Amino acid sequence: MAGPLDNVRILDMSRILAGPWAAQLLGDFGADVLKVEKPGSGDDTRSWGPPWLEGEEAESAYFLSANRNKCSVSVNIAAPAGQKIIRALAQQSDVLLENYKVGTLAGYGLGPEEMLKLNPRLIYCSISTFGQDGSRAREPGYDAMIQASAGLMSITGPPPSEPGGPQKVGVAISDIMAGMYATTAILAALNARAISGRGQHIDIPLYDSQVAWLANQNMNFLIGGKSPGRMGTAHPNLVPYQAFQTSNSHLMLAVGNDRQFSACCKVLGLPALADDPRFKTMPDRIGNRDALIPHLDSKFLERTRDDWLERLLSEGVPAGPINDIDEVLTNDYAREKNLVRQIQNGNDVSVPLVSNPVKFSDTPVCYERAPPLLGEHTVEVLRGRLGYSDAEIASLRKDEVIWFA
């Protein structure tokens, strides 16, 4: 059955994570994605191991996480013959996605102005550190520095009163969220093109994206005038909403309203706390956080994690274990929800991949292609899509314009 983007062709000239993540999502939704990679080495993340798939250093776990449902075409874009290939592919594409340093592709005649003249219906999406213009446009950057400089690390980690300091999130979340913004922007631009018939250039800065998704923390400052700080697992606008130590492990309690707080107090055997004027409403609890939490800390130590979770959930109080990734991907619920899928790659090796969370009722998510081997589809694309002869392909390979195994 066809996916929702089955009629869309993506020319993915991105690498690392933000762009590849966006292209993978579009591929999951059925788009035909061609990933353009540097001859010989490919996407930088191919070498970002260990671990490696089946011991092959060309297939790092990092690369595999962001590149399913794509074909790999290995082209040297610095060569005029390589630029000719890219232009020809762009003429057949609906979307060109790239995350080169600002001005790099324009220097090869592959920038948005040139490509939109070549194909006026093209959606040209650029992801960069600070955007395509402005005083910092040409500065390089990676996820960790964006988490730091765009505010996320200032609210992540233990509070200043405890040992430790600012922490980054355990995945490259600034990259991933920029990729998510790019995905939605591309879909919006495709819809706009369906109305106007015209493509356009989309500018996605990592920095601006990171600032945007600070969400309620941004508004806490804009309305309250006080810059939020680090609170560990606690929440600035909800109490009690944090991790607690039990007799054998931690659990995460997430009380979101007064009814849940009353139920929580009942479970803990502390019903008087629910009627205490210091804690009766959420604003009361926020204002008296330091007085409330020690009562809960001592009580949670009396029973095991699973005992408390069973009691809390039976009363409708949101709470959960703090599982490691091993548990998340191998437990009974993971099997029930089919969270991990196996797809055979071009070497007939089974690649384990985490499922896309979206469920369509009529146009299912696609799991047709494992992350490609470097240059795996170069010949197929040049011959089948662009009409190159075997002699021309051999000449391009000899001149190191293209690469394939």
Which residues are part of the catalytic machinery? 175
Q: Is 199 exposed, middle or buried (0-12, 13-18, 19+ CB in 10 A)?
A: buried
CA distances (Å), origin 31, targets 89, 186, 201: 15, 12, 19
Locate the DSSP E strands across 101-190. 123-128
If you write DSSP's letter for every residue of 44-69 in order, what string do you get? GGGG--SSBGGG-TTSBHHHHTT--S
How many whole angstroms separate alpha carbon 263 and alpha carbon 62?
43
3-class state of residue 281 by DSSP:
coil
Give the distance, in angstroms, between the CA of residue 176 and the centroid of all CA atoms in the same chain: 3
Find out whether the peptide bond into 205 is cis, omega within 30 degrees of 0. no
Q: What letters, b where the CB count within 10 A reaches 16 and e where it falls short, cover 106-133?
A: eebbbbbebbbeebeebbbbbbbbbbbe
